[in-house]
Amino acid sequence: MTYRIAVIPGDGIGPEVTTEGLKVLKTIEELDPSLSFSFESFPWGCEYYTENGKMMDDDGIEKLKDFDAIYLGAVGFPGVPDHISLWDLLLKIRKGFDQYVNLRPIKLLNGSSTPLKDDPKLRNIDMLVVRENSEGEYAGAGDWLFKGKPEEVVLQTGVFSRKGTERIIRHAFEIAKESGKSLTSISKGNALNYSMVFWDEVFEEVSQDYPEVTTYSYLVDAAAMFFVTDPGRFEIVVTSNLFGDIVTDLGAGLAGGLGLAAGANINPERNYPSMFEPVHGSAPDIAGKGIANPLAAVWSVSQILDHFGHEDWGARVLEAIETVLTEKKANTPDLGGDASTSAVGTELCRVLEEKF
Ligand code: NAI
Ligand code: MG
């Protein structure tokens, strides 16, 4: 079976890091005759916007809809407002394909360092954040009244539908049940007296269907503290769009930095392709220098393999990343090394060939 992957390298370091991810997939294809991938690349992003006045083709969603997965680098470039690159490409795909689950693993890999002090308890960082990805605080609802006048008022409305809240919480419970791990809900019911009281109620309701799952509930501010003082207490975490955005960057900081953080945008029903991307942006400050860390983009490849049901290869890719981090023969400058982006990719492929 050939898996069809749409590749959107995007801007800045996006093309640099996805090239290495594809290198890894091509190596796996050679090592495992039962697996094959085909790639089609789309030139969309900010450069495309400067030339064509749009981030992607008008029928972009139509073009992508029959792929098995979308592999995205990063979009964003100085000169193109960030809300355009976000809303006209990333969110168009996330919403168009109902990718309402954002899966972000926060795991301190062997060989990776954490800014937390060298206490074994603080190296126990292995969680999966299940972030609501379709509504909440990022629904785009609100109003801007009396613009520029002294009485100016801006409203940014959080949208929490029963359907949207229930499905993300249920999905997280399913993951917790399957993996035998605990589930922590992060909310803020004391201050957000509509949305988060509702969230807590739905969490409580759905939990009735999963008596075997141990649950915890934290206020987001307390959770932020415990991420730093006792990360081991979190296993599977479910939270809203905004809180998930913030705590996963905190988590990324704890577990080796943006160069090591991956995120998957999943349509669990598989009616549409899911999208896999490093969490980091286009990093204009280092773009074109060949020094971007490709490990986050390669971790996304591991998530693609998991999504295709080849968890064996997904795990091997993570193992290869750990080997590269531990042996330190090819690490990029953000990890204290002097290797180039492509040298890291080549080393990953060598490790895969040697081990498997
Ligand atoms: P950024 O993630 O691009 O960069 C933040 C810092 O981390 C920079 O110093 C950068 O050099 C470093 N960094 C990021 N990824 C790295 C990697 N793989 N290896 C080594 N160092 C790395 O975030 P920033 O600067 O806030 O945004 C830059 C542009 O990217 C903006 O236009 C923003 O809108 C866009 N962006 C796009 C995202 C996406 O496509 N999903 C996500 C976040 C930002
Ligand atoms: Mg973010």
What's the pLDDT score for residue 116?
Answer: 86
| Rounded CA separation 266/156 (Å) | 26
What ipTM is given for this predicted complex?
0.97
What ligand 1 atom has the least distance to the C-alpha of 294? 18
CATH number of the 1-110+257-356 domain: 3.40.718.10
What ligand 1 atom has the least distance to the C-alpha of 77? 32
Strands (E), 109-181: 126-132, 136-145, 153-159
What's the pLDDT score for residue 114?
Answer: 87
DSSP state, 130? E
The list of the chain residues with pLDDT below 70 reads: none
What's the pLDDT score for residue 10?
Answer: 97
What is the per-residue pLDDT across 82-139, written as a single tens digit (0 to 9) for each?
889 988 999 899 999 999 999 999 999 999 988 887 777 888 999 999 999 999 999 8
Residue with CA nearest ligand 1 atom 42? 281
Contacts of 30 (CB under 8 A, 6+ apart): none
What is the per-residue pLDDT across 151-169, written as a single tens digit (0 to 9) for each?
999 999 999 999 999 999 9
| C-alpha 135 to ligand 2 mean position (Å) | 15
What's the pLDDT score for residue 195?
Answer: 97
| C-alpha 84 to ligand 1 mean position (Å) | 16
| C-alpha 355 to ligand 2 mean position (Å) | 34
Residue with CA nearest ligand 1 atom 30? 281
Q: Which two tokens stand for residue 183?
A: 């589930």
What's the pLDDT score for residue 272?
Answer: 98
**At 239, which amino acid appears?**
T
Residue with CA nearest ligand 1 atom 38? 281
Residues of the chain with CATH 3.40.718.10: 1-110+257-356, 114-255
Please give the class, per CATH, of domain 114-255: alpha beta
Ligand 1-lining residues (CB < 6 angstroms)? 13, 17, 74-76, 82, 85, 90, 258-259, 277, 280-286, 292-293, 296, 334
Query: Which single residue is written with the structure tokens 């939270």?
Result: 239
| Beta pairing, strands 183-187 & 236-239 | parallel
